[in-house]
Amino acid sequence: MNTVTDQQNVDHEPELRIANEFAEAVVRRVAHGNGTRLHVVAPRSGAESMIDAVVLEALAAVPAEELTAILVGTVPGNDRPTATPG
């Protein structure tokens, strides 16, 4: 539920910075349309996205192994050797 108090808090949400030696992301909760979204920025690449609750719920349902498989081809330097048949 997005009350006036919630709306005031959203406008002043602090950034959450998550980083390791391979990646960095900055996340902030923002008011958007009928609710709130997460604004996610990757400072190293400049990529950014607004993610709503539906996407977050779907993301939570994806097993970590599948997310890792997606990353292999999309993050520079995150290549894994593939098994060769035979």
Strands 24-32 and 16-19: antiparallel
pLDDT at res. 38: 95
pLDDT tens, position by position, 6-43 = 444 445 678 999 999 988 999 999 998 888 999 999 99
pLDDT, the chain, mean: 81
- Whether the full predicted model's pTM is greater than 0.85, yes or no, is no
Handedness of CA 27, 39, 58, 25 (dihedral sign): negative
Cα–Cα distance, 24 to 19 (Å, whole number) = 4
Mean pLDDT calculated for residue range 65-81: 73
CA atoms within 13 A on the CB side of 50: 7
Sheet harboring 35-42: ordered strands across? 16-19, 24-32, 35-42, 47-51
The total number of residues written for the chain in this structure: 86
